[in-house]
A and B are shown apart, each in its own frame.
Chain A
Amino acid sequence: MTAISPASHQAARATSIVAAEARARARLRRRHALVIGLRLAILIVFLALWELGADHGVIDPFFFSSPSGIWEQIWSWVTEGTSQGPLWLQIYVTLEETFLGFAIGAVGGIAAGIILGRNKLLADVFSIYIKIANSVPRVVLGSVFIIALGLGMASKVALAVVMVFFVVFANAFQGVREADRAMIANAQILGASPYQITTTVIIPSAMSWILASLHVSFGFALVGAVVGEFLGAKQGMGLLISTAQGAFNANGVFAAMIILAVMALVVEFIITRFENYVVKWRPAPFNEQGT
């Protein structure tokens, strides 16, 4: 029997741990690269098939456009401007309507959700009206707003607001209702006033619900603004789409769609950043991995 001196044993173990860590890191990096590579490959194959199909008459580019056609359209909008003026102005107008509608709808929804969530009587009284209002197809309201508020920005903002409000309201309300009883009782006994309970217990615990709804509802705000422009406007991405549609310009419709998708993705990214910052106390999921 030979005794292994503990010191050398430990040193060996330490180096093997370091090596294992390095291997694990390398494996993670490889996997990350693989995921990105596969994603790119799928995109390239998809675009190539589309382009080839359009070239060989399998897909009619008159209806379904083609990647090169879309790119040319975007490029001409960027360099020569659209029929309604420069492209950036259209994007700016639509974004402005979206953001205004999103902000007003979200703040209103959060406030209403918290007030009704905290007050049983108000909740019981108003729940029926909110159900009714929520069941009205909201896009129809677009026409009402255009008649009432005109072709300018106000009607689009109003439509975006109603699109956002109900989603955020429902989540904020639910979040407030789900706030843990024991936690509220704890705060009460520690000495919190009702106002302190709302700000330090109710709102933080409803926060993950609210943030989840903000993700979805930004998309809704964009839909509201674009549909509003569709129904009648002087500027904006929605008008660009409806003009292209009127001219049977499939390239234009697809190009505008892609620009809108990019806008939505960028904002989604910003919201995710904000969310991670606000709820940094949340435990990371066990399978957390770089995506």
Chain B
Amino acid sequence: MQLQTMAAEKLSPAAAPADAAIAIDDVTLRFVTPDGHMMTAIRDFTMTVARGEFACVVGPTGCGKSTTLNLVTGLLRPTTGNVRVMGNPVTEISRDIGFVFQADALFPWRSVIDNVAAGPLYRGTPKAQAYDRARDWIARVGLARFEKHYPHQLSGGMRKRVALAQTFINQPKILLMDEPFSALDMQTRTAMQDELLGLWSELKSSVVFVTHDLEEAVALADKVYVLTAGPGTVKSVYRIDLPRPRVMADIRYDPKFIEIAKVIWNDLREEVQLGQSRGLQTGH
């Protein structure tokens, strides 16, 4: 209990302030399954991300994490409730948003530089300028020697860096990331997390970062959302008051970090077990 006030303060859901970057207000989303039934993916979901805040979302597999991000982009519409981005209801895909996908979403027929320049080119930036910026971003993610390579000629970690550069070049005010590092090895992942925090503090964007990995969430976030097993809803919210700037390689051994992770894990564990037993029952 003492700890919760110290570092991992459990928050009570409050009404979203008008200037929040992202406000998901009491949203329920149902999918029509191929056999014509309705399937609730998320229900009564409320979440607020302030400007410049780094929010992480953890929850068992299939609980609706990706669905939540898609609500913010406008690729999915809520069945009930509403979603606001920068104070405005989501009606179309906002230019303020950047999205790093769970799956590899680079264009395999474009070289690294063409992939990174895609955003500005789509948005009508003159070619020369778009490529200048692309070169700049490729250098910043450490791939200057690989501009002309095609995605299949890169390693998984390098492809993720290209995806980051591709997203960051648009300088999104809102950054959505769907388990971006889950396929990477430990060392690469730690390096990428540091890189991400660096870029985030520079752009001052608001982030929603979805992950399976609770430790990753605690290490990165200002705020951690724990979701229930599907249909997903917010189980609890924790504020993480670890000091910044954080160094990923070291923070894992910080006693305060370990305590926080333990508290949240106790909360999450039930849901993971519930999700697993349900998955087994339905044969997924």
Contacts and interface: CB of A to CB of B under 8 A. Distances in A.
A182 B122 contact: no
Contact of A190 (B75, B104, B170): B170
B93 interface: yes
B73 A189 contact: yes
B105 A182 contact: yes
Given A182-B103, A196-B122, A283-B152, A188 B93 contact: yes
A85 to B, nearest CB: 47
B109 A191 contact: no
Contacts of B225: none
A201 interface: yes
A212 to B, nearest CB: 16
Interface string A163-193: 0000000000000000010110111111111
Contact of B122 (A191, A281, A282, A283): A191
Contacts of B93: 188-189
B81 interface: no
Contacts of B97: 189
Given A182-B101, A185-B75, A281-B150, A190 B119 contact: yes
A187 B122 contact: yes
B113 interface: no
Contacts of B31: none
Interface string A197-241: 000110011010000000000000000000000000000000000
A124 to B, nearest CB: 15
A188 B99 CA distance: 10
Main SS class of interface, A? helix
A183 to B, nearest CB: 5
Contacts of A282: 108, 152
A185 B107 contact: no
Given A190-B118, A190-B122, A190-B166, A183 B99 contact: no
A279 interface: yes
Interface in B111-162: 111, 118-119, 122-123, 150, 152-153
A200 B107 contact: yes
Contacts of B166: 190
B152 A281 contact: yes
A186 B105 contact: yes
A207 B150 CA distance: 17
Main SS class of interface, B? loop
A196 B124 CA distance: 11
A180 B105 contact: yes
A196 B93 CA distance: 15
A279 B109 contact: yes
Contacts of A201: 107
B99 A189 contact: yes
B72 to A, nearest CB: 11
Contacts of A182: 101-105
Contacts of B98: 189
A193 B104 CA distance: 21
Contacts of A191: 95, 119, 122-123, 170
Nearest to B124: A191
A200 B106 CA distance: 12
Given A191-B170, A281-B109, A281-B150, A186 B101 contact: yes
A201 B93 CA distance: 18
A281 B105 contact: no
Nearest to A205: B109
Most chain B CB inside 10 Å of its own CB: which residue of A192, A205, A207, A281: A281
Interface of A: 180, 182-183, 185-193, 196, 200-201, 204-205, 207, 279, 281-283
Interface of B: 73, 75, 93, 95, 97-99, 101-111, 118-119, 122-123, 150, 152-153, 166-167, 170
Given A185-B105, A190-B118, A205-B109, 5 more contacts: A185-B73, A192-B122, A196-B122, A279-B109, A281-B111
